[in-house]
C-alpha cells in the first residue's frame, strides 16, 4: 500500500537532514510541499541542496493559507488530504516536506491525521527541531539535570503565564510578540536571561546573545531561549 511520509528536513542547514529523509525523498513518487504564497518553499529549497535529484520528481504544491480562521484552515486541510489520498489510491508514495520536525507545530500533522482516519498509510519521519539547532548555534545546553524545558508558541499564548514556568522556555512562533517578549525580560533582568537566533542554519542567520541585543523587527524564523537566573 502506498504511504504518505511526513519528512522533517531540519532547521535550515541541508547537512542536518537525516539519511532516512534523504532516502525517502529519492524513493517517493510525489514531493508535496506546502504553499502559502511565497515563490520558493523553504523546506524544498533546503532539501534540494541535499538531494539535487528532487528536481526530477513530480511536485505537488499544497495550498496552506497563513490564517487563524479555523473554518478556512479546516477547508484547506480537507482539500489537501483529499488530493494526497488520490495519489495514494493510485499507488504513489508521497513525501511531504516540512521544516524542523513534523511533530512540532507543523501543518503536516493536520494532513497526517486525516489520511490515517481515511484508512490509508501515513508515517512521520523525525527531523532536527529548530530549537535544538539554536542551542547548538549558541553553544550551550537547553536543559540540565532536573531542569524543565518548555516549548511555547509565543504568539498564541499569554506570555505572562508562560514566563512563570520554572526552567528553560523556548519561545517559538514569536512573530509580532518579539517586542513584548523583549520588554518583559528587560523589565525584570534579575529574573531571566535571554538569547535569540534568527534564521538558524539559513542565509541571513543572526545570533543575539542578550535580551538587550534582540531585534524587535526579527523575522518569522526566530527563536528566543529564556532561562531563569
pLDDT band, residue 160 (cuts 50/70/90): confident
- Please, which residues have CB within 8 angstroms of residue 141's CB and are 6 or more apart in sequence? 135
Segment 29-38, tens digit of pLDDT: 999 999 875 5
Q: What is the pLDDT of residues 10-22, one digit of tens each?
A: 999 999 999 999 9
Query: Which pLDDT tens digit goes with each residue over 58-102?
Result: 999 998 887 888 998 889 999 999 999 999 999 999 999 999 999
Place of cell 491525521: 113
pLDDT of residue 66: 78
Give 140's pLDDT tier (boundaries 50, 70, 90).
Answer: very high
What is the model's pLDDT at position 176?
A: 77
The pLDDT confidence band at residue 219, using thresholds 50, 70 and 90, is: confident
- CATH code: domain 3-125 is 3.40.1010.10
130-228 has which fold?
3.30.950
Query: What's the CA gap between 229 and 224, in Å, rounded?
Result: 16
* pLDDT averaged over every residue in the chain: 93
Going by C-beta distance under 8 Å and a sequence separation of 6 or more, which residues neighbour residue 153?
105, 172, 173
Domain extents in the chain: 3-125, 130-228
Q: Is the pLDDT of residue 125 over 90?
A: yes
Run of H or E residues at 81: helix 70-89
- pLDDT exceeds cutoff 80 at 39: no
Rounded to two decimals, the pTM is 0.91
Complete DSSP assignment for 88-127: HHTT--EEEEESB-TTSS-THHHHHHHHHHTT-EEEEE--
Average pLDDT in the 180-209 region? 92
Amino acid at each position: 500500500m502506498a504511504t504518505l511520509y511526513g519528512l522533517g528536513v531540519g532547521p535550515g542547514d541541508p547537512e542536518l537532514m537525516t539519511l532516512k529523509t534523504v532516502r525517502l525523498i529519492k524513493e517517493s513518487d510525489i514531493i508535496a510541499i506546502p504553499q502559502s504564497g511565497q515563490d520558493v518553499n523553504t523546506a524544498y529549497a533546503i532539501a534540494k541542496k541535499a538531494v539535487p535529484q528532487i528536481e526530477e520528481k513530480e511536485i505537488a504544491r499544497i495550498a496552506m493559507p497563513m490564517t487563524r480562521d479555523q473554518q478556512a484552515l479546516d477547508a484547506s486541510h480537507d482539500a489537501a488530504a483529499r488530493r494526497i489520498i488520490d495519489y495514494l489510491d493510485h499507488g504513489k508514495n508521497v513525501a511531504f516536506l516540512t521544516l524542523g520536525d513534523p511533530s512540532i507545530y507543523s501543518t503536516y500533522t493536520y494532513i497526517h491525521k486525516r489520511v490515517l482516519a481515511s484508512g490509508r498509510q501515513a508515517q512521520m519521519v523525525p527531523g532536527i527541531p529548530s530549537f535544538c539547532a539554536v542551542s547548538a548555534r549558541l553553544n550551550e545546553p537547553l536543559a540540565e539535570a532536573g531542569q524543565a524545558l518548555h516549548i511555547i508558541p509565543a504568539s498564541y499564548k499569554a506570555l505572562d503565564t508562560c514566563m512563570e514556568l520554572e526552567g528553560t522556555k523556548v519561545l517559538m512562533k514569536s512573530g509580532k510578540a518579539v517586542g513584548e517578549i523583549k520588554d518583559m525580560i528587560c523589565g525584570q533582568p534579575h529574573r531571566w536571561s535571554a538569547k535569540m537566533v534568527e534564521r538558524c542554519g539559513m542565509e541571513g542567520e543572526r545570533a543575539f546573545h542578550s535580551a538587550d541585543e534582540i531585534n524587535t523587527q526579527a523575522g518569522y524564523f526566530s527563536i528566543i531561549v529564556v532561562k531563569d537566573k
